[in-house]
A = this chain, B = another copy of it.
Amino acid sequence: MVFVHLYLGNVLALLLFVHYSNGDESSDPGPQRRAQGPGPAPTLGPLTRLEGIKVGHERKVQLVADRDHFIRTLSLKPLLFEIPGFLSDEECRLIIHLAQMKGLQRSQILPTEEYEEAMGTMQVSQLDLFRLLDQNRDGRLQLREVLAQTRLGNGRWMTPENIQEMYSAIKADPDGDGVLSLQEFSDMDLRDFHKYMRSHEAASSELVRNSHHTWLYQGEGAHHIMRAIRQRVLRLTRLSPEIVELSEPLQVVRYGEGGHYHAHVDSGPVYPETICSHTKLVANESVPFETSCRYMTVLFYLNNVTGGGETVFPVADNRTYDEMSLIQDDVDLRDTRRHCDKGNLRVKPQQGTAVFWYNYLPDGQGWVGDVDDYSLHGGCLVTSGTKWIANNWINVDPSRARQALFQQEMARLAREGGTDSQPEWALDRAYRDARVEL
């Protein structure tokens, strides 16, 4: 019974993207023990993690033959670095050119009714939902408790104002104080909520992510500059070639004037019910949720931006992480259109500079632990001009065994198949049609 309750909690939490740590780890087997596959699982060595030392620390590295680079520590939480001149101006221009040739698509379109359907089939009682939303357990839903559940917006970014508008439209908050009692919440018909959301088409400025992007292949046979950049990333991260080569292609992103990306984390939470997009080939198909497992983000600035467009880390090096002090009833620090100036750390785009950080904490055994809450980041409003960046994500499965099986399987496919079945191509195909993630 406890297990069922925990399970339901996890699934709900996943659906609502709640970040919490489950203190009772002994009651579920965890992904590490659930991964299965053919043959004995090989073991993988410890994952490299650069030392931060302290904010402002600089180290010299040799990544290319003709010059030195300097890596500067920007924060320890998340473990975040900057490296000026990682790409040459020519390389930046080439990446933009290749992306334009391939064509970019909207990064986010308003999703279908998937979410509503999922909620319908879940048969979750309204009381359970209330309990999950009521984080401070005071028996009332504050505005910020609703704001915290970004998924409720179903792709639309929620502000205190539009939640109050919605309450007013569906008459959910008769006393108009912005707080829902359990009674007021129970009286609400969730179908009215969904109807309201459907009836109000969101402008792109009202979405979580307002940009265009495309993917550029970096595997064998790719443009030699794309190959060179992958090799440079490999030297930078000091991870194994297998991990880097089997990671996502390069995502090139264009933010037009007015573009933004509200603060988010690049990886989904680590639950037994999740599988990683990059290793799903070897995962148990019955696991219900798929998420990105991005050990590192390596972000390149491809141009100088005329106005705005900084990358913000709202809680970098905060003493504590507390979602509810991040999201106040009036100021939501995750809102990159309104509140970038209040974030702890902002990086101004500079052509050729790379920033990179770790999205997971270590687990203490040389592998990946929990998602690092402090890795929360976003793209600030571009107030003038266009902003071009590229993301080189390094994928690692939090299940060491599943990552090992995946690498083994991809190596086997590469040996057996022809050029068309090379691992990178398979991966590129998978990502080409990937659904847009929030």
Contact = CB atoms under 8 A, between A and B. Distances in A.
Interface of A: 51, 53-55, 57, 59, 76-77, 317-320, 344, 361-364, 369-370, 372
B364 A57 contact: yes
Contacts of A53: 361-364, 369
Contact of A55 (B59, B320, B362, B369): B320
10 A-B pairs with least C-beta separation: A317-B319, A51-B364, A53-B361, A54-B361, A53-B364, A51-B362, A59-B364, A53-B362, A318-B319, A53-B369
Given A51-B362, A51-B364, 13 more contacts: A53-B361, A53-B363, A53-B364, A53-B369, A54-B370, A55-B320, A57-B364, A76-B76, A76-B77, A317-B319, A317-B320, A319-B319, A319-B344
What is the interface of chain A mostly: helix, strand, loop, or mixed?
Answer: loop
Contacts of A372: 54
20 contacts: A51-B362, A51-B364, A53-B361, A53-B362, A53-B363, A53-B364, A53-B369, A54-B361, A54-B370, A54-B372, A55-B320, A57-B364, A59-B364, A76-B76, A76-B77, A317-B319, A317-B320, A318-B319, A319-B319, A319-B344
A53 B366 CA distance: 11
A369 B77 CA distance: 20
Contacts of A364: 51, 53, 57, 59
Nearest to A374: B54
* From A54, A59, A317, A320, residue with most partner B Cβ within 10 Å: A54
Contacts of A55: 320
A4 to B, nearest CB: 26
A54 B57 CA distance: 21
* From A51, A59, A369, residue with most partner B Cβ within 10 Å: A51
A54 B370 CA distance: 10
A76 B78 CA distance: 12
A392 to B, nearest CB: 23
Contacts of A363: 53
Nearest to A366: B51
A17 B429 CA distance: 62
A76 B372 CA distance: 14
A155 B356 CA distance: 46
A98 to B, nearest CB: 36
Contacts of A57: 364
A369 B51 CA distance: 12
Contacts of A370: 54
A14 to B, nearest CB: 21
Nearest to A344: B319
Nearest to A345: B319
Contacts of A344: 319
Contacts of A77: 76
A77 B73 CA distance: 15
Nearest to A54: B361
Contacts of A362: 51, 53
A265 to B, nearest CB: 15
